[in-house]
Amino acid sequence: MTIENLLHGTETVSTWIGKAFAWLIVALMLLVCVEVFKRYLLNMPTAWVFDVSNMMYGTLFMMSGAYALAHDAHVRGDFLYGSMKPRRQASLDLVLFIVFFLPGIIALTWAGWVYASDSLAIRETTFNATPLPVYPFKFMIPLAGATVLLQGISEILRCVLCLRDGEWLPRLADAQEIDVVEQQLAGSTYVDEDARREAIARAKNIDEAARQRMEQE
């Protein structure tokens, strides 16, 4: 197995984890809709729905971290980075991953495991009329940390490859939104100005065609 296959394999795992847990947003929507119906139309509120919704949203948020990292979707304060050559970008990323990312995410994973283990030991529950176990949700913390750590190691290897080859290894394709085309072009992959202008013009043409169809309707 080549290192490129290994990186894409890790991205595939992170992508499928993110997509699997993304279905929680559907379950969360249905839960809220049912609770609104019961609370305001039947006058039968549920005591535990607030806790469950918090746990579901928290799980969704945490388990999407590896997916966001795999697709370079985290927010980046980009002032100079987008204009750098790939090797300079990779050097900066590599330093930041080693100095900040690895210590932080390892600490999160370890502390999350201790936190969840303590919760399991005391069989922690919520404080309401219908107590719910909390420890299954708290075990999502070290699990999320482990998945992000795995993807982070993949990102470090990607930086090493870029330093060796002088260009970024293409990421696995996934759904993208039109309004982030320009931001992505200014992000982790260096592109020349002609390619940047062409992509922006193409996105504007799509927006204009959509606006005209709406006016006609």
Q: Is the pTM of this model over 0.85?
A: no
- Spell out the alpha helix ranges (H) of the chain: 3-22, 24-40, 49-63, 65-70, 86-96, 102-121, 135-138, 140-165, 181-185, 193-216
Domain segments of the chain: what residues?
3-174, 176-217
pLDDT digits (tens, 9 = 90+) for 163-205: 999 899 888 776 555 555 555 555 444 455 666 666 667 766 7
Query: Residue 122: CA atoms inside 13 Å, Cβ hemisphere, count?
Result: 10
Residue-wise pLDDT for 117-172, tens only, equals 999 999 999 887 788 899 999 999 999 999 999 999 999 999 999 999 989 988 87
Which DSSP letter does residue 17 get?
H
